[in-house]
Amino acid sequence: MSEILVEVTDKDFESFLDRNEIAVVEFWDPWCSICSEMAPVYEELARKYAGKAVFGKLNMRESRKVPDEYEVYVTPTFIFFKNGREVHRLGGLMDPEKLEEDLKERLLSP
């Protein structure tokens, strides 16, 4: 995993949110072809907005409790958090500009 993406698990999910005012978590599956397609897009966003938001990845094959709690049924699902609370989510294959636009609108605006 890239240095700019934080691997998140069931065990450390809550502390990850507590430590980071603005965070995005990608819920993904290693067998998901759409996840593979979106991975470079997500990594590029993490690079571009490093220092403004923290980007995590949660492998749904290894961690099942948090996806169940957040009712994540589509992979990938991107959930945006501000002060530990979900403020927005997107799922599936999408236009990279849409993911970035929603990130800026929901998390990075005052």
Q: Mind telling me the catalytic residues?
A: 32, 35
The CA-atom distances, in angstroms, between 106 and each of 32, 34, 65 are 26, 23, 26
Q: Pairing state of beta strands 77-82 and 85-91?
A: antiparallel
Question: Are 77 and 26 within 8 A, CB to CB?
Answer: yes
Strands (E), 35-94: 54-59, 77-82, 85-91
Q: How far apart are CA 72 and CA 17, in angstroms?
A: 17
